[in-house]
Amino acid sequence: MWINGLVAVALVLIDQTFKNYISSNLPLGHVREIIPGLISITNLRNDGAAWSILEGNQSLFLIITLVALGALGYILFLKRDSWSFNVGIWLMIAGTIGNFIDRLRLHYVVDMFQLDFINFPIFNIADMCLTFGVIVLFIAIIRDDSE
């Protein structure tokens, strides 16, 4: 379990480092193509959730984040012997903390990855951790026949 925790810390550090790099080296709103027609990097400030839902409600997001971290910690305790639950929960914790740091420090979340081939919210590494964590957790729940 502690290895998953170390990986989560590393993911938060990578997320914060990349956000800082993008904020410092790419003008706000500027788009730089990485793979034409597939993915671009941009510097976007998002004070809402995906698609800027509930924008400007930082207090609400901070409360939701604290509740989510508490719930994730509780599930982690309950399922401490399940490798797949551990991986999914630690990924979700890493993503939650990565965006939480932005909200506390900047009052918005720095997003940068833009999928050019589909109408999809611009996202960051913390968002990827959350998404993959949910997928792993979903698979773990489906496979868990103990309850």
- pLDDT in the model for residue 39: 96
Tokens of 91: 């990924």
Nearest residue to 102 (alpha-carbon basis) of 16, 11, 13, 8? 16
User: In degrees to the nearest 10, what's the CA dihedral of 72, 74, 79, 82?
Assistant: 40
- pLDDT in the model for residue 146: 53
Which neighbouring-strand residues pair with 39? 35, 115
pLDDT in tens, 57-86: 667 778 888 899 999 999 888 888 888 889
Question: 37 vs 147, which has greater pLDDT?
Answer: 37
Q: Which of 15, 81, 102, 127 is catalytic?
A: 127
Q: Is 92 left (phi over 0), alpha (psi -120 to 50) or beta?
A: alpha
pLDDT in tens, 98-126: 999 998 999 899 999 999 999 888 999 99
pLDDT in tens, 19-58: 999 999 999 999 999 999 999 999 999 876 665 555 666 6
Do residues 109 and 103 touch, judged by C-beta distance below 8 A? yes
- pLDDT in the model for residue 41: 96
Q: Which of 111, 116, 144, 145 is catalytic?
A: 111
Q: Is 116 labeled as catalytic in the residue annotation?
A: no
- pLDDT in the model for residue 128: 96
Q: Is 15 labeled as catalytic in the residue annotation?
A: no
